[in-house]
Amino acid sequence: MPETLMSIKDFSVLYDVETPVEAVKHVSLELKRGEILGLAGESGCGKTTLAYGVQRLLKPPAVITSGSVHFHDAGGEVIDVNALDAEAMRVFRWDKISMVFQGAMNALNPVATIGAQLDDVFRIHRPGMTKAQRRAECADLLEIVAVGKDRLRSYPHELSGGMRQRVMIAMALALRPQLMVMDEPTTALDVLVQREILRQISELRHEFGFSVVFITHDLPLLLEISDRIAVMRSGEIVELSGARELWEHPRHDYTRTLLASFPRLTGEKGVLQR
């Protein structure tokens, strides 16, 4: 049985606006070391709020109203994420957990080279590294994500959408975190590039041993790449099971509706669920 990497218990987030919105409601979830956990659900169900919340990235009017988050470090230490001060949290986010944000393909600084933006990660978080060491690490990262070190001097506009997304994945991998959270990482990419990115994520996971939380509304995609899938609706986890089990024996009506909402390429025509 794989060991636990992160445990979330009774986690709730409220948007404290004129009419308060409970975006995440008493979510409890365990992430296993080395697994890909898919987080599925329609837009607005609380997927991204949950991911931001456990990393303490939320800003007002979002308020964490309950819950605990514990990270089980590979060295044996159990880190209470809610108890970390601002500086410790800044280090934790890069060393232990990283995130590829929604719309990350367009998140690169348009007036800085790819090499300079990768170098910033090491310059800030690994101050003991020399310039030559940083440059070598940046080159290695681009090779790992199949962009090529010759792109270190390129600007974002000189790269395709898929290459920019790979650079963002390289940044997330820079400090070899134990967990990578990916929020809709293949949005706006064509089907062939999506396939390449997904294959690479799977290969990198096997090579480096990190866990992945993959957030998307695309349930068929998650069925293909995930070890387990958590289905979220209206701020709650309504079903959690292995990908194959969820496909063959969905237990919740909402999960069955999600599965039925995607047209099949083979078989008889049916009524598309909305």
Classify residue 120: in a domain, yes or no.
no
Q: With pLDDT > 90 as the criterion, what percentage of the chain qualifies?
A: 76
Classify residue 242: in a domain, yes or no.
yes
Classify residue 60: in a domain, yes or no.
yes
pLDDT digits (tens, 9 = 90+) for 142-162: 999 999 999 999 999 999 988
pLDDT digits (tens, 9 = 90+) for 32-83: 999 999 999 999 999 999 999 999 999 999 999 999 999 999 989 999 999 9
Classify residue 244: in a domain, yes or no.
yes
Classify residue 139: in a domain, yes or no.
no
Count of all residues that appear for the chain in the document:
274
Residue 28 has pLDDT above 70, yes or no: yes
pLDDT attached to residue 105: 67
Classify residue 265: in a domain, yes or no.
no
CB 237 within 8 A of CB 44: no
> The tokens of 254 are what?
């909402």
Q: With pLDDT > 70 as the criterion, what percentage of the chain qualifies?
A: 94
pLDDT attached to residue 234: 95
**Strand duo 97-100 + 78-80: pairing:** unpaired
At residue 17 the predicted structure's pLDDT band, cuts being 50, 70 and 90, is very high
Here the CATH number for the domain that contains residue 198 is 3.40.50.300
Classify residue 67: in a domain, yes or no.
yes
pLDDT digits (tens, 9 = 90+) for 88-114: 999 899 899 999 987 766 789 999 999
Q: Is the dihedral of CA 155, 158, 161, 166 positive or negative?
A: negative
Number of H helices and number of E strands within the chain?
9, 10
Domain limits for position 211: 4-104+178-260
Q: What is the mean pLDDT of residues 218-235?
A: 93
Residues forming beta bridges with residue 215, ordered by sequence position: 39, 183
- The number of distinct structural domains making up the chain is 1
Q: What is the mean pLDDT of residues 119-135?
A: 95
At residue 261 the predicted structure's pLDDT band, cuts being 50, 70 and 90, is confident
pLDDT attached to residue 269: 63
Residue 181 has pLDDT above 70, yes or no: yes
Classify residue 116: in a domain, yes or no.
no
121-124 long-range contacts (CB < 8 A, ≥24 apart) are 121/94, 121/171, 121/174, 121/175, 122/174
Residue 166 backbone class (left: φ over 0; alpha: ψ -120 to 50; beta: rest):
alpha
At residue 1 the predicted structure's pLDDT band, cuts being 50, 70 and 90, is low
